Amino acid sequence: MRLIEILGQLAEIESLLIENKGELTPEDDTKLKLFTESLVEKVDGYKHFFDRIDLSINYWKAKEHEAKQIRAALETGVDNAKEHLKATMLQREITTLEGDEYIFKISPTKGKLVITDEEQALAAYPKEKITITIDNEKIRQDLEANIDMKCAVIEQTWSLRTTVKRKK
């Protein structure tokens, strides 16, 4: 199989992964099995596939970061515009602004709590917060020391490493 055909299959599988949110349907699984039938011939294809997916992941991570920055800027802009409108209405002693389609009204709220002395507030109004979590490290140590327990097991997992084949 030529590299261009492998890359075409990889692009199709990538699209299927995106469409199905990472899950493979039985039809997709069949395509992947066909892709893996002659595994030795396809080792390089798998490496290209992994590299391509990694590039896509990095691209979308960058876009996610950009989107978060844009969203934050827009949220800040809207909040600032609302605060400016409220300040203007308060300064002019206007509680209602009417347009052709919309009406803005301001009214007092219960107020924003501002703690001016944290030490004094903490002493007078303490609230205890206790967090209990599982000590995974201790469980692993006990299991590796062959201590019998019914709450956890260590399952065998495998990692896949990629190395560059040295040419002879």
Residues 6+ apart with CB under 8 A from 44: 3, 6
Given a contact cutoff of 8 angstroms between Cβ atoms, the answer to whether 103 and 97 are in contact is yes
Residue 12 lies in a domain: yes
Residue 152 lies in a domain: no
Residue 154 lies in a domain: no
Residue 157 lies in a domain: no
Condensed to tens digits (0 to 9), the pLDDT of residues 38-50 reads: 556 667 777 877 8
Tokens matching residue 68: 């978060």
Ranking 17-31, 65-79, 123-137 by mean pLDDT, the lowest is: 17-31
pLDDT the model gives residue 6: 66
State how many domains the chain has. 1
Residue 9 lies in a domain: yes
Concatenating the DSSP letter of every residue in 88-137 gives HHHHTT-SEEE-SS-EEE----S-----S-HHHHHHHS----------HH
pLDDT the model gives residue 92: 94
Mean pLDDT, the chain, rounded, equals: 85
Given a contact cutoff of 8 angstroms between Cβ atoms, the answer to whether 130 and 113 are in contact is no
pLDDT band at 88; cut points 50, 70, 90: very high
pLDDT band at 21; cut points 50, 70, 90: confident
Distances (CA, A) of 19 to 4, 88, 162: 23, 48, 27
pLDDT band at 71; cut points 50, 70, 90: very high
Residue 159 lies in a domain: no
Residue 44 lies in a domain: yes
The domain containing residue 105 runs over which residues?
3-144
The stretches of the chain forming alpha helices (DSSP H) are 3-19, 26-36, 39-91, 118-124, 136-144
Q: Give residue for tokens 């409220």.
A: 86
pLDDT the model gives residue 49: 78
pLDDT the model gives residue 37: 60
Task: Report the distance separating Cα 43 and Cα 33, nearest Å.
Answer: 14
pLDDT at 128 over 60: yes
